[in-house]
């Protein structure tokens, strides 16, 4: 890793102070730690200072040190060690951290760095002309199975290609909301393309009985009379042929694939914004005729049971509270979701 130093004096502000809300938050955070251990709050306080100003200034480091009764050098050691702390002004709309560790390097992080150099600035930690974008290369960001990846502020973007990465940079520059997580058809760190095994719940087989001996059977079973033989129900019923059994199974399979609902006209909603719904489940829901948040929000208990049956995810709809999530998204999109749940969708 490269040596991390504070920004030049000519860009450093003379003073730093938390605003009223952050000051109140800082005091509450310090109070969480036992007496004499308040210095444990150094990382949260530095992160809040960075959230407030966009980067960690020398004045902020000294202010945090005074609040925690720490020597300046101790707080400086923390700020310069962790790459999550930006020690000079970065892009106001996006500071992109490209992972350059082995898994990402083998999967193409070098091409992502070339994109940063061509679209932002040839040098890391330098902003573009408008000051809105900047970049750097960092060590492992912890999503190796989804390599290559990058982090922008507190969000990660995975399974990147140079083409998609260029689009993302343009979206950041335009102030658009960029989809986080995998940028391909993958649910979090699950296999690409969705699950290929354990998709069907096997039917329960009846417990095997120990066969009786022929002698015991003959001794215990009375012989039926001619009249009983004639009146025995199902006496003339024959076992269905294999072809008939296959036809019945095929009919059952086709019935299971048939839509449960009539999909409404118009544009489909992005059901993947509901926590617990990935690309594969979204496709299955669409096949069932569920394409909008409003439909999910209005599901009855009976319909939930039917959908559960088709998805082979018993109880997931209620466990992840899809209905409440969908209701918020239908009412006001991501903004309403944040009001209700206190976080971004997904």
3-state secondary structure labels for all residues of 111-148? HHHHHHHHHCCCCCCCCCCCCCEEEEEECCCCCHHHCC
Task: List pLDDT tens digits, range 64-98.
Answer: 999 999 999 999 999 999 988 999 999 999 999 99
pLDDT at 273: 92
- Angle between helix 42-53 and helix 72-81 axes, rounded to 10 deg: 70
Give the tens place of pLDDT for each residue, 221-238. 566 665 565 555 554 555
pLDDT of residue 282: 87
- The token duo for 227 is 């009249």
Query: Do residues 277 and 323 touch, judged by C-beta distance below 8 A?
Result: no
Give the pLDDT score at 81: 93
> Three-state DSSP class for 94?
strand
Q: Is this structure's pTM higher than 0.85? A: no
Give me the phi and psi of 303, to 5 degrees please. Answer: -65, -35
- How far is 78 from 284, CA to CA, in rounded Å? 48
What's the CA gap between 155 and 17, in Å, rounded?
Answer: 26
Sheet with strand 94-99: strands edge to edge: 133-138, 94-99, 150-152, 155-158, 181-182
Q: What is the reported pLDDT for 156? A: 95
- How far from 293 is each of 64, 267, 287, CA to CA, in Å? 45, 11, 15
Q: Which residues of the chain have pLDDT under 70?
A: 1-2, 195, 198-257, 312-313
């Amino acid at each position: 890793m490269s040596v991390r130093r504070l920004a030049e004096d000519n860009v450093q502000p003379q003073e730093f102070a938390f605003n009223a809300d952050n000051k109140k938050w800082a005091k509450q955070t310090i109070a969480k730690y036992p007496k004499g251990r308040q210095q444990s709050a150094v990382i949260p306080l530095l992160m809040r200072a960075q959230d407030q100003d966009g980067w960690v200034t020398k004045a902020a480091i000294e202010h945090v040190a005074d609040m925690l009764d720490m020597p300046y050098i101790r707080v400086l050691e923390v700020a310069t060690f962790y790459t999550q702390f930006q020690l000079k002004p970065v892009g106001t709309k996006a500071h992109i951290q490209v992972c350059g560790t082995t898994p990402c390097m083998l999967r193409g992080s070098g091409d992502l760095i070339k994109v940063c150099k061509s679209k932002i600035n040839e040098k890391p930690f330098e902003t573009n002309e408008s000051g809105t974008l900047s970049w750097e290369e960092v060590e492992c960001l912890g999503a190796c199975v989804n390599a290559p990846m990058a982090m922008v502020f507190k969000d990660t973007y995975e399974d990147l290609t140079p083409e998609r990465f260029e689009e993302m940079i343009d979206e950041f520059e335009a102030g658009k909301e960029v989809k986080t997580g995998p940028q391909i058809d993958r649910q979090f760190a699950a296999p690409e393309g969705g699950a290929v095994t354990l998709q069907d719940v096997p039917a329960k087989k009846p417990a095997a009985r120990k066969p009786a001996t022929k002698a015991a059977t003959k001794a215990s079973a009375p012989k039926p009379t001619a009249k009983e033989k004639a009146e025995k129900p199902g006496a003339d019923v024959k076992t269905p042929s294999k072809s008939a059994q296959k036809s019945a199974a095929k009919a059952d399979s086709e019935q299971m694939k048939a839509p449960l609902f009539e999909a409404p006209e118009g544009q489909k909603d992005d059901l993947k914004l509901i926590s617990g719904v990935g690309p594969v489940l979204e496709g299955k829901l669409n096949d069932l005729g569920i394409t909008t948040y409003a439909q999910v929000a209005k599901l009855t208990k009976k319909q939930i049971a039917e959908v559960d049956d088709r998805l082979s995810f018993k109880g997931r709809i209620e466990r992840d509270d899809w209905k409440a999530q969908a209701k918020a998204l239908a009412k006001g999109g991501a903004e309403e979701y944040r009001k209700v749940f206190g976080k971004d969708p997904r």
